Amino acid sequence: MKHEIATVRGRQIWDSRGRPTVEAEITLAGGATGRACAPAGASRGAHEAIDLRDGGDRFGGFGVDRAVAAVNGEVAHALAGRDVRDQAGLDAVLAGLDGTPNFARLGANAAVAVSLAALHAAAAAKGRPLWRHLAEGRPVRIPLPEVQIFGGGAHAGRRTDVQDFMVMCPRAPTVRRAFEITADVYRAAGAIMEQTGRLAGVADEGGWWPMFASNEEALETLAQAIDRSGHRAGEDVFISLDVAANELAHGDGYRLPLDGAELTSEAMVERVAGWAARFPILSIEDPVGQDDTAGMALATERLGERVQIIGDDFLVTNAERVRRAADAGACNAVLVKVNQAGTVTKAKAALDAARALGWAAIVSARSGETEDVSITHLSVGWDAGQLKVGSFTRSERMAKWNELLRIEEQMGDDAVYAGAGALPASVGRGIPERQE
Ligand code: PGA
Ligand code: ZN
């Protein structure tokens, strides 16, 4: 039985923040192996699966001894002898073994590493790259990247209230070209910040760590950087924001310390809509907090025709939350983070639920990452259409972007860049055609 799981091994490795994380390695009876690492968030939603940490003094409480022990103990025991091709069955065993709705017992860090390692092993047994294994012969596209230029929020000492200031190049002919344009913008942004004394290093995901006096100044600087790069804002390059407003929740509303503002939910939506009116913003993630359904519905009603409204903390890669949001008219896109769900199967269910609604989907990294490039393959193999990895520096980010270039090359003449077609339909249609 070539596809039978022979061994499951867990080990502690280190992530991009120098914190312990879980790696799992699965070996099949036929000799094929698969390996994956758990990422870790810093701005997490209360409804996501639980990242199990040891607590106490060691490693600031971030130890993963218990999660690693679970992999080497009961998980290894439960999966031994099972057919690795039955991903849904394996993931059901993990969920059943855990016994809680959110992997609170085994840890989603243990579950996600094992679930992804199994997927890699299944692809390896077939002798195929993971993206091709997932595509199963269906045509799939190279995703549209969302790339961070400035980090803020929980990723940069809350230096800006908005967490991610990113760019997207939906009109580029290829992802290769999209990266070239992005690199130009990143460099131009750094140069402007250095000249104006606003550069303080790089943030958690590799974006510039900014010293702006307001969130709007960050937007202005980003628009300037696009101009300075020689590309056209609102034509070649668009702005994408992750407000991560959950981190700004205060009482019934929101507090934006940098802007000195205390806002009701309606006023928060109004503020974000004001930014979208003044800047070429194509995508906004979590403009309100994780349980502010009325605010998310208002943002979607106000902006959803021309701006992608993504739920991250709001949807936590949960199919049921996706459907409930849709019933309320909230969001038109889902962020897919496998570790928010705990398993590949649950994450795929959230993606499928979004797709059934005609929504867009973005496969995403976490702020704590490793050299693991699984998400690049998921974004392609699932034909999600979009990929969010962080910025355009630091190898835990670049490994994922570079993998996309290798996949593009493997596809050869069949490579199709999703570009604007990956956005919610009305948003994609609204983008002006590129003037040559
Ligand atoms: P994280 O957040 O720090 O929880 O990974 C990233 C995001 O909000 O998209
Ligand atoms: Zn987010």
Secondary structure of the chain in HEC code, one letter for each residue: CCCEEEEEEEEEEECCCCCEEEEEEEEECCCCEEEEECCECCCCCCCCCCCCCCCCCHHHHCCCHHHHHHHHHHHHHHHCCCECCCHHHHHHHHHHHHCCCCCCCCCHHHHHHHHHHHHHHHHHHHCCCHHHHHHCCCCCCECEEEEEEEECHHHCCCCCCCCEEEEECCCCCCHHHHHHHHHHHHHHHHHHHHHCCCEEEECCCCCEEECCCCHHHHHHHHHHHHHHCCCCECCCEEEEEECCHHHHEECCEEEEHHHCEEECHHHHHHHHHHHHHHCCEEEEECCCCCCCHHHHHHHHHHHCCCCEEEECCCCCCCHHHHHHHHHCCCCCEEEECHHHHCCHHHHHHHHHHHHHCCCEEEEECCCECCCCCHHHHHHHHCCCEEEEEEECCCHHHHHHHHHHHHHHHHHHHHCCECHHHHCCHHHHHCCCCCCC
Answer yes or no: are the C-beta atoms of 244 and 285 closer than 8 Å: yes
Assess whether the C-beta atom of 366 lies below 6 angstroms from ligand 1: yes
Ligand 1 centre to CA of 367 (Å) is: 5
Check 23, 25, 146, 205 and give the catalytic one: 205
Assess whether the C-beta atom of 42 lies below 6 angstroms from ligand 1: yes
Pairing mode, strands 261-263 and 249-250: unpaired
Residue of minimum CA distance from atom 2 in ligand 1: 43
| 348 tagged catalytic | no
Residue of minimum CA distance from atom 1 in ligand 1: 41
Domain boundaries, the chain: 5-127, 144-429
Mean pLDDT of the chain: 97
Q: Is the pLDDT of residue 432 over 90?
A: no
Domain 5-127 superfamily per CATH? Enolase-like, N-terminal domain (3.30.390.10)
Tally the residues of the chain.
Answer: 436
Assess whether the C-beta atom of 205 lies below 6 angstroms from ligand 1: no
Pairing mode, strands 333-336 and 308-311: parallel
Ligand 2 centre to CA of 238 (Å) is: 18
Q: Which atom of ligand 1 is nearest to the CA of 364?
A: 9
CA within 13 Å, CB half, 226? 24
Residue pLDDT, tens place only, 150-209: 999 998 889 999 999 999 999 999 999 999 999 999 999 999 999 999 998 999 999 999
Q: Which amino acid is at 104?
A: A
Assess whether the C-beta atom of 51 lies below 6 angstroms from ligand 1: no
Answer yes or no: are the C-beta atoms of 75 and 97 closer than 8 Å: yes
Assess whether the C-beta atom of 367 lies below 6 angstroms from ligand 1: yes
Is residue 56 packed enough to be buried (19+ CB in 10 Å), middle (13-18) or exposed (0-12)? Answer: exposed
| Domain at 144-429: CATH architecture | Alpha-Beta Barrel (3.20)
Claim: this prediction has a pTM higher than 0.95? yes
Q: Is the pLDDT of residue 62 over 70?
A: yes
Answer yes or no: are the C-beta atoms of 250 and 293 closer than 8 Å: no
Residues pairing with 281 in the sheet: 239
Q: Is the pLDDT of residue 434 over 70?
A: no
- Write down the pLDDT at residue 251: 93
Answer yes or no: are the C-beta atoms of 175 and 417 closer than 8 Å: yes
Mean pLDDT of the 79-93 span:
98
- Write down the pLDDT at residue 433: 76
Query: Cβ–Cβ contacts within 10 Å for residue 220, how many?
Result: 14
Is residue 320 packed enough to be buried (19+ CB in 10 Å), middle (13-18) or exposed (0-12)? Answer: exposed
Residue pLDDT, tens place only, 208-247: 999 999 999 999 999 999 999 999 999 999 999 999 999 9
- Token pair 């929980």 in the structure block, residue: 154
Pocket test for ligand 1, best of 50, 364, 386, 389 (most atoms within 8 A of CB): 364
Q: Is the pLDDT of residue 129 over 90?
A: yes
Check 285, 337, 388, 403 and give the catalytic one: 337
Report the percent of the chain where pLDDT is more than 70.
99
Phi and psi at 142, nearest 5°, equal -80, 125
| 400 tagged catalytic | no
Q: How many whole angstroms separate alpha carbon 283 and alpha carbon 140? A: 22
Q: How many whole angstroms separate alpha carbon 311 and alpha carbon 331? A: 6
Ligand 2 centre to CA of 283 (Å) is: 12
Q: Is the pLDDT of residue 260 over 90?
A: yes
Answer yes or no: are the C-beta atoms of 130 and 32 closer than 8 Å: no
- Write down the pLDDT at residue 1: 84
